[in-house]
Structure 1
Amino acid sequence: MTTGVRRRMGVEERRQQLIAVALELFSHRSPDEVSIDEIAGAAGISRPLVYHYFPGKRSLYEAALRKAAEDLAARFEEPREGPLGARLLRVMGRFFDFVDEHGPGFAALMRGGPAVGSSTTNALIDSVRQAAYEQILAHLGVSAPSARLQLVVRSWVSLAESTALLWLDGRRVPRAELELQLVHDFAALAAVSAAYDEEMGDVLRGIIASEPPDGPFAELVERLVALAPLPQGSA
């Protein structure tokens, strides 16, 4: 007969386990509502042992949120191949996967609160936004964006974030529709800006040139044309 022996974890392995346990609990409740006792119980260790690996509650929360922020930022990475519309749609799919899996934790991270309102976690939030911003510019092939293009991209990143937060409150709009709508929103923001700025016009023309007839940007044009009233006298 064999006897089960619990394997002793190394320091870094235990730290990573505690971070993973904390993130799992954050996926169901806000970090402010999760206690160290709960994390210790879920990890199968004592409360004092948690403090052996993390000096305080905030340090564990910050480590867990740093891991989540890195994961979220990575969702915006996409091979720079193929039409931009299809790329953005895949990015939005992965972004909403994260939001769906880590709803309360995502909301707490983005909205702030006593457990996540430190300068460290605020910097984590900014790092996610900056990573998304840089990824979109890379997809556009622009290394020195104009002021208007910066506004378009940063406004769109902010819109994706706020849309996800609102969607979490009841999930009243089908997720797939929101993902497509956000891709359309990017095209709309770029088009409006292009109407005021020639450089943005060049960016928009580059986007359109690579867009296939069945792509998401082409679908937006079809939807807008369908909304336009027919001229009087036409059949």
Structure 2
Amino acid sequence: MARLTAEERRKQLIGIGLRQLTERPIHELSLDEIGAEAGISRGLLFHYFPSKRDYYTAVVQAAANRLVRQTEPDPAAPPAEQLAQTLEAYLAFVERRRVPYLALFRGAAGGADYVIDIYERTRAVFVDRARRTLGDPGDPRDPRVDLLLHGWFGFVEDTVLAWTATPSIPREELLDILRDSLPALIGGLASVDPS
């Protein structure tokens, strides 16, 4: 059997961690089990990741990258279609990985700062995508727009998590509600006097 390069070994170890996330939260991953599955000792694992935290951070970042990659809309699609594509892909992602999503992002791994940081950066990707689909929502520096975009994604996330636990309405109706809520929120700014 050919020896793995350092990069291949790192990818293997991260992949094992991602698989184990489907069964337990990040802080419960056993480095001994991960090393054994990879055919290396726990000590050798630290050759590829200087600390347990570095390993956990790499696994969480890989999970976040997967979410971002799998929900990327077609940049050539019209803005409304990009929003629909992102929402459809996000819903599909959470449907397939609800438990690890909850354990990783919503649980923030017991408040670990590295998980919170990755979660916030991942959330910012979705906020930026939503901002792009609005066309021209007014002054891009308007703090009200930014606040509503963050709140909208929180609404999307909570609604998707509730629906994937108990699908109480048809899937297409859920997607319509999520999609239509963004322009409704932003449109409401026009009637609010900022002074």
Which of the five TM-score ranges fits, normalised by the shorter chain? 0.7 to 0.9
Residue in 1 that maps onto 2:111? 117
For 2:111, what is the secondary structure of its paired residue?
A: coil
For 1:45, what is the secondary structure of its paired residue?
A: coil
**Percent of aligned positions that are identical:** 32
- Seen in structure 2, the aligned counterparts of structure 1 residues 191 and 141 have a Cα distance that, compared at 3 Å, is closer
Structure 2 residue 137 is the aligned partner of structure 1 residue 137 = no
Max Rg structure: 1
Q: Is the 8 A contact 1:26 1:102 kept in 2?
A: no
Q: Which runs of 5+ in 2 are unaligned?
A: none
- Root-mean-square deviation (CA), in Å? 2.7
Q: What TM-score does the superposition give when structure 1 sets the normalisation length?
A: 0.69
Aligned equivalent of 1:152, options 125, 148, 151: 148
Aligned equivalent of 1:100, options 95, 100, 109: 95
CA distance in 1, matches of 2:51, 2:163: 33
- Larger % of helix: which? 2
Q: Is the 8 A contact 1:69 1:128 kept in 2?
A: yes
Aligned equivalent of 1:41, options 36, 41, 48: 36
- Seen in structure 2, the aligned counterparts of structure 1 residues 191 and 138 have a Cα distance that, compared at 3 Å, is closer
The alpha-carbon deviation at position 168 of structure 1 amounts to 4.3
1:166-211 CA distance string (max 9 Å, x none): 334355555444333211221332333333369xxxxxxxxxxxxx
Structure 2 residue 184 is the aligned partner of structure 1 residue 188 = yes
CA distance in 2, matches of 1:26, 1:76: 20
Aligned equivalent of 2:81, options 83, 86, 94: 86
Residue in 1 that maps onto 2:61? 66
Aligned equivalent of 1:50, options 26, 45, 48: 45
Q: What TM-score does the superposition give when structure 2 sets the normalisation length?
A: 0.81
Output the amino acid matched with 1:147. Answer: P
CA distance in 2, matches of 1:66, 1:92: 21
Q: Which runs of 5+ in 1 are unaligned?
A: 1-5, 199-235
